[in-house]
């Protein structure tokens, strides 16, 4: 998601359950280090869900009083209770994956490379059922998921949560015309400072180039497997109409779930909306299991 900063508070039992069954892992993407957290349910090797975070996010994602373990930390616990393993990663340049890149080096294509490397990593594990792979992407993570799904053809089902479908519109609104104009005038590799409502960040020209080039609708069109799209009618970051664009671009089994929620699934006020979306996502995955 487009991250809003908030302190992480004391965790709830669901988060404690997740932490007790989790291991931090490291793998390589393009020869560079990616850090992730692998969560395992009890029992036999389980189907596994790859979780892709959003712009300026990290692998646990947004934390609040209602969701103190983070949206993805909470999701991992709920998935485990439903019998699914999960791997949530920090893209290179985000979270703890800072050994080789900084956030300024972020590009869409680099994050797709990380997600594809995560698939390769999962396939080396005996602790998960590597022929039962699922994918969840939130916001920019949803944009990355469209390409990960279409280029890999690895997933039994894919869920896009408040996913970016039209980068020029979404990032134009988030970053603002001044930053977009500065990037257009920047040299290759040059850094552009961007002031967001919650922080100032620096991005290289190549990130902005990706906004013009990357086409999530064309990417998801290459994936014919089952697709679940969740979108909030109150989302002022990713336009609610974006969900239908992704559904229209996709040919295959699909479900569009619209709810009265904002871009963070009302997580500042309650966990109920997130849990409902997770229930719908898991039911969709269950319905399309091998």
Range 13-167+216-287: architecture per CATH: 3-Layer(aba) Sandwich (3.40)
Q: Are 253 and 180 in contact (CB under 8 A)?
A: no
Q: Are 49 and 85 in contact (CB under 8 A)?
A: yes
Q: Are 80 and 86 in contact (CB under 8 A)?
A: yes
Euclidean distance between the first and the last CA atom of the chain, given in angstroms as a whole number: 30
- Model confidence at 209, pLDDT cuts 50, 70, 90, reads very high
Q: Specify the pLDDT at position 6.
A: 32
258 sits in which H/E element: strand 254-259
Q: Specify the pLDDT at position 15.
A: 41
CA separation, residue 175 to residues 199, 202, 229 (Å) = 11, 11, 25
Q: Specify the pLDDT at position 1.
A: 56
Q: Compute the average pLDDT of residues 147-167.
A: 99
- Model confidence at 223, pLDDT cuts 50, 70, 90, reads very high
CA separation, residue 173 to residues 216, 248, 250 (Å) = 17, 23, 25
The whole-chain average pLDDT of the chain stands at 93
- Model confidence at 8, pLDDT cuts 50, 70, 90, reads very low
- Model confidence at 3, pLDDT cuts 50, 70, 90, reads very low
Q: Are 249 and 217 in contact (CB under 8 A)?
A: yes
Residue-wise pLDDT tens digits, 86-110: 999 999 999 999 999 999 999 999 9
List the single range of 93-102, 158-167, 197-206 with lowest mean pLDDT.
197-206
Using a pLDDT cut of 70, give the percent of the chain over it: 93
- With a cut of 90, say whether residue 127 has pLDDT above it: yes
- With a cut of 80, say whether residue 12 has pLDDT above it: no
Q: Compute the average pLDDT of residues 279-287.
A: 99
What is the rounded distance in angstroms from the CA atom of residue 220 to the CA atom of residue 53? 18
Q: Specify the pLDDT at position 196.
A: 87
- With a cut of 60, say whether residue 39 has pLDDT above it: yes
Q: Compute the average pLDDT of residues 42-66.
A: 96
Residue-wise pLDDT tens digits, 224-271: 999 999 999 999 999 999 999 999 999 999 999 999 999 999 999 999
What is the rounded distance in angstroms from the CA atom of residue 115 to the CA atom of residue 109? 10
Q: Which residue carries 């596994």 as its tokens? A: 48
Q: Are 194 and 211 in contact (CB under 8 A)?
A: no
Residue-wise pLDDT tens digits, 164-196: 999 999 999 999 999 999 999 999 999 999 998
Q: Specify the pLDDT at position 150.
A: 98
Q: Compute the average pLDDT of residues 217-222.
A: 99
Q: Specify the pLDDT at position 5.
A: 32
Q: Are 243 and 256 in contact (CB under 8 A)?
A: yes
Helix-, strand-, coil-residue percentages of the chain, each rounded to 5: 40, 25, 40
């Amino acid at each position: 998601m487009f991250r809003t900063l908030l302190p992480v508070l004391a965790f709830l039992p669901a988060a404690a359950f997740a932490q007790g069954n989790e291991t931090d892992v490291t793998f390589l993407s393009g020869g560079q280090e990616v850090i992730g957290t692998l969560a395992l349910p009890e029992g036999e090797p389980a189907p596994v869900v790859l979780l892709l975070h959003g712009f300026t996010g990290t692998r646990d994602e947004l934390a609040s009083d209602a969701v103190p373990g983070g949206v993805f930390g909470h999701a991992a616990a709920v998935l485990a209770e439903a019998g699914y393993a999960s791997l949530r990663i920090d893209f290179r340049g985000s979270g703890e994956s800072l050994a080789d890149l900084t956030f300024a080096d972020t590009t869409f294509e680099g994050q797709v490379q990380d997600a594809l490397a995560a698939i390769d990593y999962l396939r080396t594990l005996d602790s998960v059922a590597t022929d039962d792979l699922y994918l969840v992407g939130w916001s920019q993570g949803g944009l990355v998921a469209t390409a990960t799904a279409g280029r890999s053809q690895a997933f039994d089902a894919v869920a896009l949560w408040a996913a970016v479908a039209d980068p020029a519109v979404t990032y134009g609104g988030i970053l603002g015309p001044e930053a977009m104009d500065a990037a257009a005038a920047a040299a290759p590799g040059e850094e552009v400072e961007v002031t967001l409502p919650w922080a100032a960040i620096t991005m290289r020209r190549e990130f902005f180039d990706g906004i013009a080039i990357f086409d999530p609708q064309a990417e998801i069109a290459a994936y014919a497997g089952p697709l679940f799209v969740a979108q909030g009618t109150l989302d002022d970051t990713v336009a609610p109409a974006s969900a239908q664009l992704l559904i229209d671009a996709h040919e295959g089994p699909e479900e569009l779930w619209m709810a009265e929620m904002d871009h963070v699934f009302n997580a500042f006020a309650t966990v109920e909306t997130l849990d409902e979306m997770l229930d719908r996502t898991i039911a969709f995955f269950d319905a399309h299991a091998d």
